[in-house]
Amino acid sequence: MKKVLIFLVVSLALILSACASAVTPVTTMPASNDNFNMTLAPGASAGVNGTPTPGSMMMENPDAAHMMEPITAPNVQPATETTGGQPLEFREENGVKVFELTTKAVQWPILDGVTVTAYTYNGTVPGPMIRVTEGDQIRIVVKNELPDPTTIHWHGVEVPNAMDGVPGVTQDPIQPGETFTYEFTAKPAGTFMYHSHYEGDVQVSAGLYAPFIIDPKEPEANSPVVDKVLMISELRMTDGQTFAAMPMAGMEPNYFTINGKSFPATETITVKKGDLVRLRLIAIGQFIHPMHLHGMPFKIVATDGHPVPEAAQLTKDTVSVAPGERYDIEFVATETGQWMLHCHILHHTTNDNVEPGGLMMVINVVE
């Protein structure tokens, strides 16, 4: 009997020690994982089916909490312009094209009755389009009037490393009130963009993005009659507050924009029957958008700014544009009518869950 008891005690001790060693790695994890501890704010409700909403969430890590706060700034004024992505004027100084950008927060209408607080370049979403010719020497003077630091990354442009705009790696962040000058040669030709690289998860979604087009030195043999840049993004608006949209629970977008507007406030592009039309699709948010054109197939003539050889140009009617990608598509407007261009993740064609809205626009082909 005594032997059996000893056997049982020893067995139990062995089992317990085995369990303890098995759970040891787990018990040490939280120390390095504190950043991800997310709790509901005191008194907040978890919303439908327990899904947290932005206002109900509180990160225990103050840096993470900062990323999830509403987009705000002191004395935010209504935007004085209504259309984003317009060509930016420049001046010439000793053969250098000099552009000026000011980062600032404005109230930006995306739709009749829906205005968001946006971080902008020069007061518009997208910011103004920088359009230059391959080989141009360019200088961009950036003044930061945001309440937060920022930097600019020239996405896809082949710049010297010191001009690449990565805070803590290639430059110090541009502090509020400070000015920083970027200077480089514009190359290669193609469809590019510029955007914030400081807290990009917040600042890009908040509106700090814009087209950057480099035209080829030699004029194109078959240049399009209509040439439009379409920058696609998302944001979140709840209880009158604007949040950066993120691919995480409670921060999902409920508004989707083409050039800073949601359908039906998106631009209608009117073209003549027979025109060659080029659309430069750019996804700058954090979600993939399969853009689908009704009525006419198109060819993908450039990817990420680089020309696709004619024999390799796919004929498509839908192209998925992932964050950071650019697709230049071209088609001949052979059929008259009002043809939709829209995202085929159909939830992205809603405004705050109501269809139609979001990523839809009309290509109006007339005689």
The residues of the shown chain that bind Cu ion, judged by CB under 5 A, are: 289, 343, 345, 348
Residues listed for the chain = 367
Taking the complex as a whole, the smallest distance from the CB of residue 325 to Cu ion amounts, in Å, to: 13
Taking the complex as a whole, the smallest distance from the CB of residue 345 to Cu ion amounts, in Å, to: 4
Closest CA to 210 of 232, 191, 196, 195: 195
Q: Which is nearer to Cu ion, 122 or 349 (CB)?
A: 349
* 147 and 176 Cβ atoms separated by less than 8 Å: yes
Q: Which is nearer to Cu ion, 12 or 322 (CB)?
A: 322
Q: Which is nearer to Cu ion, 278 or 348 (CB)?
A: 348
List C-alpha distances in Å: 364 to 235, 277, 325.
27, 12, 26
Taking the complex as a whole, the smallest distance from the CB of residue 179 to Cu ion amounts, in Å, to: 37
Q: Which is nearer to Cu ion, 162 or 248 (CB)?
A: 248
Q: Which is nearer to Cu ion, 171 or 350 (CB)?
A: 350
Q: Which is nearer to Cu ion, 277 or 343 (CB)?
A: 343
Q: Which is nearer to Cu ion, 68 or 359 (CB)?
A: 359
Q: Which is nearer to Cu ion, 143 or 347 (CB)?
A: 347
Taking the complex as a whole, the smallest distance from the CB of residue 253 to Cu ion amounts, in Å, to: 10
List phi, psi (to 5°) of 270.
-100, 130
Taking the complex as a whole, the smallest distance from the CB of residue 137 to Cu ion amounts, in Å, to: 38
Taking the complex as a whole, the smallest distance from the CB of residue 343 to Cu ion amounts, in Å, to: 3
Taking the complex as a whole, the smallest distance from the CB of residue 57 to Cu ion amounts, in Å, to: 24
Q: Which is nearer to Cu ion, 40 or 345 (CB)?
A: 345
3-state secondary structure the chain: CHHHHHHHHHHHHHHHHHHHHHHHHHHHHHHHHHHHCEEECCCCCCCHHHCCCHHHEEECCHHHHHHCCCCCCCCCEECCCCCCCCECCCEEECCEEEEEEEEEEEEEEEECCEEEEEEEECCECCCCEEEEECCCEEEEEEEECCCCCECEEEECCCCCHHHCCCECCCECCECCCCEEEEEEECCCCEEEEEEECCCHHHHCCCCCEEEEEEECCCCCCCCCCEEEEEEEEEEEEECCEEECCCCCCCCCCCEEEECCECECCCCCEEEECCCEEEEEEEECCCCCEEEEECCCCEEEEEECCEECCHHHCCEECEEEECCCCEEEEEEECCCCEEEEEEECCHHHHCECCECCCECEEEEEEEC
Taking the complex as a whole, the smallest distance from the CB of residue 255 to Cu ion amounts, in Å, to: 12
Taking the complex as a whole, the smallest distance from the CB of residue 361 to Cu ion amounts, in Å, to: 13
